[in-house]
Structure 1
Amino acid sequence: MIRFTGAFVAMGALLSGCTAIEGPSTNSEMVMATDGREVECRRIKEMGTMLGRRVCMEPAEWAQIDEQAEEEGRRFIDEVSADGGLMPMDP
């Protein structure tokens, strides 16, 4: 049995909100905020646009978002696997 986990994770990200947050190694930078805090800025790409927007948050906040996205991807893969590899069709 061949598993297409990368495709399922990508599909899960697409279905979960039509927004792609590029990982920290892909497109991020650490900058100093005006109040002296160090924040990480990432480029957010949204469906239907070619341009993204820059979002800056503290590294702990990004870690929480990354963890949640990973969990949602795992949950999606588990659901698809439990259904015998069929994609969910319910809206």
Structure 2
Amino acid sequence: MYTYYAFTSYGIKLPRWISMCVTSIQTAQMLAGVAVTYIVYKIKTETNMPCQQSMVNLYLAFIIYVTFAALFLHFFYQTYIVESKKSKKE
């Protein structure tokens, strides 16, 4: 991801599929964060296993991961699906 941003910051144009992959990987990372946060929440609330995470931390992590996942999904949809349909019509 950082290599991609380094190239683009120097004005190097990369193929569209690379930016799609970067966005997809970032989205997957956020969705994995949602899943891990949910699993830790379930462990903390339903088992006697020790868990060092506070409930506030879990709630905030869940909110952050869901928010970023939604933003990445929206960006992907607007950039690669809606724009793709517009360019096909022209």
Using structure 1 for the length normalisation, give the TM-score.
0.40
Using structure 2 for the length normalisation, give the TM-score.
0.40
- Answer 1 or 2: higher relative contact order, Cα 8 Å, separation at least 6: 2
Between Structure 1 and Structure 2, the one with more helix by share is 2
Rg larger in structure: 2
Between Structure 1 and Structure 2, the one with more strand by share is 1
